[in-house]
Amino acid sequence: MILKILALVFYLTIYSEAANILYAIPFTTKSHYITVRTIGLELARRGHNVTVITAYREDKHPPTYHQIMVKDIKIWEALGGERPNIFSTVDMSAVQFHDDILWPGGLALTEDALQTPAVQALLASDVKFDLVISEQFFQEAFYALAYKYNAPLALVTTYGNCMKHNFLTRNPLQLATVPSELLDVDDPTSFIGRLKNLYFTAYELFWWKYWYLGKQEQLMKKYIPGLREPIPSLFEIQKNASLMLVNSHFSVDLSMPYLPNIVEIGGVHITRSNNTLPKDLQKYLDDAKDGFVYVNFGSNVRSIELPEEKKQAFLRVFKRLKRTVVWKWEDDKLEDKPDNVIVRKWLPQKEILAHPNIRIFVSHGGLIGTQEALYNGVPIVGVPIFGDQYNNVLELEQMGYGKLLQYHDITEERMYGLIDEVLNNESYRKTAKEVSRRFWDRPMNALDTAMYWIEYIIRNNGAPYMRSQANELSWLSFTMLDVYIFILFVIISSIIFTIKVIKIINTLLCPRKPKDKKKRS
């Protein structure tokens, strides 16, 4: 009887603390969804009522998890063109990538999602939410839902540190040591690296604040009904966000100071898998007594799009390795495939990276796969293509965790040398295990950390006291420029005053002798 009463009290407590949460993650890149999906599902498992705006359906979920589906329109479709060969983007600068893809693609995907009938029906209903969570990635109009429902706003990144958010919340930028998240910099602390970082950060902040947010506000006003006048700017709405969850961790990423409402949850998508490998693949991997190599370039980059000469380089390298190679190859056939190479259109990555016989992961350096390799202590040879991939692989190489292979440097000899070095130099394996250990050496795992802080801001009505008081200051006051100018004025005035006093004293103490008058002739 007592146990029944305790159980009843427990469930009543959960029910009384349950919140109605709107979770907006409509960006239609699968890797983004994989990163953030666990947050909504876990909130529902904990008894919260969660409504998710998404392009990807969950078949297994708690009963309090509700899905508002948007069309799975890829960014290339939204831009009105065909999907390019992603390897062709390797030479695009960060500025060009923004100008040609991220700025216009973000606007197009935002409009597609907002005008979806199911989303419009939700916005027209009288439902209320206690919290709005949104992904922070070029779809800022969704932040206005927090204003619409008079609810706290929490943001979550699928990458790591966000320079734009640091800027508007007055979190230290640290441009001398921390590169912008989507900028590839060979040596971030060098003069050229710091100059490049400053230039790109200034470019991104300027166009984001003074052009892109204006375009997002037009979509906000067009598609989100019931916004009270005067409507604040999206800049102000984001500046007053209660929480930012960033997909990074200081143990493996560049360390930097964060305000208390900016929380690292690197690896939040990773959980222990109960799934098993397909029987044939399980046997191949179990029989690979000398270890196997795993090759996967993620959901956006397709191996089948490799140029012929680079594909042949891969095949010749794999043949020389004399080890089992498991390769995600998006076609039924691979000509000239060596006998030691196993290809599949899709591979269960979590389970493969957790297999005890894995020796190395050949990857594009995407953050999801990188963190899954970190979780299992698997060394990486990374071939970055775009976005944050270069920085991810560069950090691993600097830690001694793996090696970076530039796309244009892919040749048989270059690639074989790097893979052979990582396979046969025990230091990489030891470093990988040590980095993995410290990656998970935390008071709470990443998902529990996210849950704690989300529920914290619910319990504390948005916890506005966690924001920086600098938000209330003007730029002049925040930078202390007015104080520095005043001090400089006082110093210069003191110097001038002192000089004048010295001149006066000198005149009084040492009067000039009058010149002898010339004798009159």
The mean pLDDT of 397-408, rounded to a whole number, is 94
Give pLDDT, residue 472. 87
Q: Nearest-CA neighbor of 63 among 53, 55, 75, 51?
A: 51
Amino acid, single-letter form, for residue 374:
L
The residue that leads in pLDDT, 5 or 38, is 38
Helix (H) or strand (E) holding 404: strand 402-404
DSSP string over 405-438: --GGG--HHHHHHHHHHHHH-HHHHHHHHHHHHH
The mean pLDDT of 456-469, rounded to a whole number, is 94
Contact at 8 Å (CB) between 130 and 151?
yes
- pTM equals 0.89
The string of pLDDT tens digits covering residues 49-75 is 999 999 999 999 999 999 999 999 999
Give pLDDT, residue 517. 54
DSSP string over 258-290: --TTEEE-TTTT---------HHHHHHHHH-TT
Provide CB contacts within 8 A for 131, sequence distance 6+. Answer: 19, 20, 21, 22, 151, 152, 154, 454, 457, 458
Share of residues in the chain with pLDDT > 90 (%): 79
Q: How confident is the model at residue 516 (pLDDT cuts 50, 70, 90)?
A: low
The C-alpha atoms of residue 333 and residue 313 are separated, in whole angstroms, by 17
The string of pLDDT tens digits covering residues 292-317 is 999 999 888 899 999 999 999 999 99
The mean pLDDT of 262-285, rounded to a whole number, is 89
Share of residues in the chain with pLDDT > 70 (%): 94
The mean pLDDT of 451-478, rounded to a whole number, is 93
The average confidence (pLDDT) of the chain is 91
Give pLDDT, residue 513. 64
Choice among 109-113, 351-355, 369-373, 477-481 with the minimum mean pLDDT: 477-481
Give pLDDT, residue 391. 92
pLDDT at 3 over 50: no
The C-alpha atoms of residue 450 and residue 264 are separated, in whole angstroms, by 8
pLDDT at 9 over 50: no
pLDDT at 117 over 90: yes
pLDDT at 8 over 60: no
The C-alpha atoms of residue 185 and residue 356 are separated, in whole angstroms, by 34
pLDDT at 1 over 60: no
The mean pLDDT of 321-326, rounded to a whole number, is 93
Give pLDDT, residue 16. 44
